[in-house]
């Protein structure tokens, strides 16, 4: 009897302020975007917002955003893994600690200052642009511009690669040397060991981290907005222009439909992330 | 064969670190040359933009060296007013964050440890809604709120608390995990301390490192957040920075250099402070730093 009473009275009061705060300042705005996506300007139910968000220029912006995030993620994932492998093989020492600390710091660099520091590097008058020019190579006449999807892919590497390094070092260090010894005793070759020991252990965290990088690149607004002043039609930029009213009026709740699209894409990737990262913990106990 | 002997020797010596590393290196196919090439290229990629920015801020588009762009920043009244706006927002955000998250974490760890992972998931929810979308929602859902909230940076302070939660919640929670809350609370209660006194005089001082890193992370978030502030037309520091960039490139680069160096310095300080107080839990700090990449 007593136990029953206790069970019924599990305290929840302490969590109420926190959950309510998030509910009000995140739940209500997100909920209103979702509802508005299905609402016409007069307030009645409609699918026309969704329809226009998925057609014409807006469909194109989803494709551009996905393209940017996928390319940036693939490059960062591979580069990050290569760096992590190099770091794991090192002796513990000042250099290794410095690399880890630097990864933590660079992974947190983003937004407007990052955009401007790349303007100084690869912009029209940037350092690298000038150095290459004095060597006879004009990258801007060769079709490159920093203020494009290619440019953004390069800039995003600045925080994406370190993120990948930070995530991949623990699983790589978790590779148990006894597994390799056992495999060697059994006569396994180097590719076999990669395939049957390294890959199964590092694949889940690798995929999980890549998903994380993807959402990062997909949702990013500041760097793109500062670098391109809204000229590249990425989804967040399009939503931004709709908010600022830089487009023809009477678009009603089109922005909300685009926003819903972003939530759906990020949400699906986040769910995939949760599943994959659960698997990845298995080998790292 | 050589591998086996060295690793056998290693395991005989209690599997010394060195042999583990050697085996790792060999199996992963990494030699010294690979490592040098990869690390040098990586270092170049990360250092060149810093050097280029420093150079650009003193040279600009023409080739004469001058520090005028740094001087121009400080003589611009907008510099101080935008900085002050961001500063006020940061105070609000930090205060709400500390007094919202700390009691929640302490309460959950004491009374409902089983709720911890659910609360952590709630704290990660802002990562699923891109900040541009949040802005859209704020503008439509809160349009009817009084002007003192929607018409002033107050709304930014309120929203930044939520948007920075993925980083702040973790660091306060990591701090709480490093101390024995139960014993501290019992000691304080048995000495007659009330709940408020326990929180203010026992728990918060002991959670200092976790709270301090949350304070820094949310401050850095506020000073770096661009999307919400610019779309709601508030002149915070990053918003002003972009305005400067539109016609005075070398000044904006000079400012970016200052902003980057300050943030980096702060991050390093936080991670050192964190390492010192929770040395056993250094993985937590890395975790927490790694989660901070999404402030864009």
Are the beta carbons of B67 and B256 closer than 8 angstroms?
no
Average pLDDT, chain B: 81
Tens digit of each residue's pLDDT (9 = 90 or more) over B197-241: 888 888 888 888 889 889 988 998 999 999 999 999 999 999 998
Are the beta carbons of A170 and B282 closer than 8 angstroms?
no
- Give the span between the Cα atoms of B39 and A161, in whole angstroms: 13
A-B Cβ pairs (cutoff 8 Å, strict): 316
Check residue B292 and report its DSSP letter: G
Are the beta carbons of B120 and A18 closer than 8 angstroms?
no
> Bigger pLDDT: A153 or B12?
A153
User: CB-CB: which of A108, A163, A177 is closest to B20?
Assistant: A177
Three-state secondary structure call for residue A39: strand
The two three-digit tokens of residue A187, written as one number = 């006569």
Confidence of residue B16 (pLDDT cuts 50, 70, 90): very low
Confidence of residue B20 (pLDDT cuts 50, 70, 90): low
Whole-number pLDDT of residue B131: 94
Question: Which residues in chain A have Cβ-Cβ distances shorter than 8 Å to B266?
Answer: none
What's the sign of the alpha-carbon dihedral A30, A35, A38, A43? negative
Would you call B241 an interface residue with chain A, using a CB distance cutoff of 8 Å?
yes
Distance from CA of A275 to the nearest CA of B (A): 14
Tens digit of each residue's pLDDT (9 = 90 or more) over B150-182: 889 999 999 999 999 998 999 999 889 888 888
Q: Is the pLDDT of residue B90 over 80?
A: yes
Distance from CA of B92 to the nearest CA of A (A): 15
> Bigger pLDDT: B190 or A250?
B190
Whole-number pLDDT of residue A283: 57
Question: Which residues in chain B have Cβ-Cβ distances shorter than 8 Å to A87?
Answer: 39
Question: Which residues in chain B have Cβ-Cβ distances shorter than 8 Å to A265?
Answer: none
The two three-digit tokens of residue B280, written as one number = 């056993």
Question: Which residues in chain B have Cβ-Cβ distances shorter than 8 Å to A123?
Answer: 249
CB contact under 8 A, A266 and B24: no
Would you call A113 an interface residue with chain B, using a CB distance cutoff of 8 Å?
yes
CB contact under 8 A, A198 and B28: yes
Q: Is residue A4 part of a domain?
A: no
Distance from CA of A121 to the nearest CA of B (A): 5
The closest of B71, B57, B66 to A125, measured between CA atoms, is: B57
Whole-number pLDDT of residue B7: 34
Q: What is the mean pLDDT of residues B31-38?
A: 86
Question: Which residues in chain B have Cβ-Cβ distances shorter than 8 Å to A79?
Answer: 42
What is the domain range of residue A178?
Answer: 12-112+159-283
Whole-number pLDDT of residue A7: 55
Are the beta carbons of B157 and B218 closer than 8 angstroms?
no
Q: Rank A5-9, A97-101, B6-10, B101-105 by mean pLDDT and report only the highest.
A: B101-105
User: CB-CB: which of B35, B249, B296 is closest to A222?
Assistant: B296
Q: Is residue A136 part of a domain?
A: no
- Residues 138-197 on B with a CB inside 8 Å of A are 138-142, 158-159, 161-162, 165
Please state the domain count of chain A: 1
Would you call A222 an interface residue with chain B, using a CB distance cutoff of 8 Å?
yes
Length of chain A: 285
Residue to test with chain A: of B15, B33, B39, B42, most A Cβ within 10 A? B42
Task: Provide block-wise average pLDDT over 10 residues at a time, chain A (285 residues).
Answer: 56 92 97 93 86 90 96 96 88 82 83 90 88 88 86 94 90 81 82 83 89 92 86 90 71 88 95 83 57
Distance from CA of B123 to the nearest CA of A (A): 8
Q: Is residue A119 part of a domain?
A: no
User: CB-CB: which of A92, A99, A127 is closest to B52?
Assistant: A127
Q: Is residue A131 part of a domain?
A: no
Q: What are the extents of the domains in chain B?
A: 1-30, 36-66, 72-294
Tens digit of each residue's pLDDT (9 = 90 or more) over B254-288: 888 888 888 888 878 777 766 665 544 444 434 44
Would you call A121 an interface residue with chain B, using a CB distance cutoff of 8 Å?
yes
Question: Which residues in chain B have Cβ-Cβ distances shorter than 8 Å to A278?
Answer: none
Whether domain B72-294 has CATH 3.10.20.30: no
Would you call B255 an interface residue with chain A, using a CB distance cutoff of 8 Å?
yes
Three-state secondary structure call for residue B21: helix
Q: Is the pLDDT of residue B92 over 90?
A: yes
Residue with tokens 């965290």: A205
Nearest CA in chain B to A258: B133
Confidence of residue B10 (pLDDT cuts 50, 70, 90): very low
Are the beta carbons of A228 and A14 closer than 8 angstroms?
no
- Give the span between the Cα atoms of A269 and A66, in whole angstroms: 12
The CATH number for A73's domain is: 1.10.3720.10
Question: Which residues in chain B have Cβ-Cβ distances shorter than 8 Å to A167?
Answer: 290
CB contact under 8 A, A116 and B39: no
CB contact under 8 A, A28 and B137: yes
Are the beta carbons of A194 and B270 closer than 8 angstroms?
no
Whole-number pLDDT of residue B49: 93
DSSP string, A42-85: TS-B-SHHHHHHTSHHHHHHHHHHHHHHHHHHHHHHHHHHHHHH
Q: Angle B154-163/B165-177 helices, nearest 10 degrees?
A: 60
Whole-number pLDDT of residue B29: 60
Q: Is residue A44 part of a domain?
A: yes
Q: Is residue A127 part of a domain?
A: no
Q: Is residue A18 part of a domain?
A: yes
Would you call B128 an interface residue with chain A, using a CB distance cutoff of 8 Å?
yes
- Residues 257-286 on B with a CB inside 8 Å of A are 257, 259-260, 263-264, 267-268, 271, 283, 286
Residue to test with chain A: of B5, B105, B126, B130, most A Cβ within 10 A? B130
């Amino acid at each position: 009897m007593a136990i029953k009473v206790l069970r019924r009275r599990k305290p929840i009061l302490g969590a109420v302020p926190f959950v309510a705060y998030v509910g009000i300042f995140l739940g209500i705005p997100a909920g209103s975007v979702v509802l508005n996506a299905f609402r016409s300007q007069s307030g009645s139910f409609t699918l026309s917002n969704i329809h226009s968000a998925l057609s014409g220029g807006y469909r194109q912006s989803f494709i551009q955003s996905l393209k940017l995030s996928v390319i940036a993620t693939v490059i960062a994932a591979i580069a990050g893994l290569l760096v992590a492998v190099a770091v794991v093989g090192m002796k513990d020492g000042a250099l290794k600690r410095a690399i880890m600390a630097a990864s933590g710091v660079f992974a947190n660099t983003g937004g407007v200052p990052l955009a401007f520091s790349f303007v100084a590097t690869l912009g029209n008058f940037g350092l690298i642009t000038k150095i290459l020019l004095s060597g006879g190579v004009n990258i801007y006449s060769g079709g490159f511009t920093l203020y494009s999807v290619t440019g953004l892919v390069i800039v995003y590497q600045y925080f994406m690669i370190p993120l990948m390094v930070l995530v991949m070092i623990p699983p790589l260090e978790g590779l148990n040397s006894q597994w390799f010894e056992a495999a060697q005793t059994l006569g396994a070759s180097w590719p076999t060991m990669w395939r049957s020991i390294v890959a199964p252990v590092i694949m889940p965290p690798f995929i999980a981290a890549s998903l994380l990088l993807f959402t990062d690149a997909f949702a990013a607004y500041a760097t793109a907005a500062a670098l391109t002043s809204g000229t590249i039609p990425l989804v967040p930029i399009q939503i931004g222009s709709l908010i600022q009213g830089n487009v023809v009026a009477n678009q009603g709740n089109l922005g909300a439909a685009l926003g819903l699209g972003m939530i759906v894409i990020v949400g699906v990737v986040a769910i995939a992330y949760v599943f994959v990262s659960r698997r990845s913990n298995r080998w790292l106990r | 064969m050589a591998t086996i002997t060295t690793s056998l020797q290693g395991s005989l010596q209690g599997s010394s670190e060195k042999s583990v590393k050697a085996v790792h290196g060999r199996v992963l196919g990494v030699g010294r040359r690979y490592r040098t090439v990869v690390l040098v290229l990586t270092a170049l990629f990360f250092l060149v933009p810093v050097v280029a920015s420093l150079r650009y801020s003193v040279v600009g588009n023409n080739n004469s060296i001058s520090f005028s762009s740094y001087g121009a920043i400080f003589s611009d009244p907008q510099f101080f007013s935008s900085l002050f706006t961001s500063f006020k927002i940061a105070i609000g955000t930090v205060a709400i964050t500390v007094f919202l998250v700390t009691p929640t974490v302490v309460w959950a760890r004491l009374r409902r440890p089983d709720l911890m992972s659910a609360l952590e998931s709630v704290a990660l929810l802002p990562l699923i809604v891109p900040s541009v979308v949040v802005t859209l929602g704020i503008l439509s859902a809160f349009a009817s709120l009084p002007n003192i909230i929607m018409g002033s940076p107050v709304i930014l302070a309120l929203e930044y608390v939520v948007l920075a939660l993925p980083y702040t919640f973790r660091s306060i929670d990591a701090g709480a995990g490093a101390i024995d809350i139960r014993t501290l609370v019992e000691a304080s209660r048995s000495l007659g301390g009330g709940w408020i006194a326990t929180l203010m005089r026992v728990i918060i001082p002991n959670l200092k490192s976790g709270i301090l890193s949350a304070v820094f992370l949310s401050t850095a978030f506020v000073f770096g957040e661009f999307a919400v502030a610019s779309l709601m037309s508030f002149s915070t520091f990053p918003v002003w920075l972009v305005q400067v960039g539109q016609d005075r490139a070398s000044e904006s680069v000079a400012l970016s250099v200052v902003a980057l160096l300050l943030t980096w310095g702060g991050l390093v300080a936080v991670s050192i402070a964190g390492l010192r107080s929770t040395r056993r839990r250094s993985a937590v700090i890395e975790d927490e730093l790694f989660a901070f990449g999404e402030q864009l």
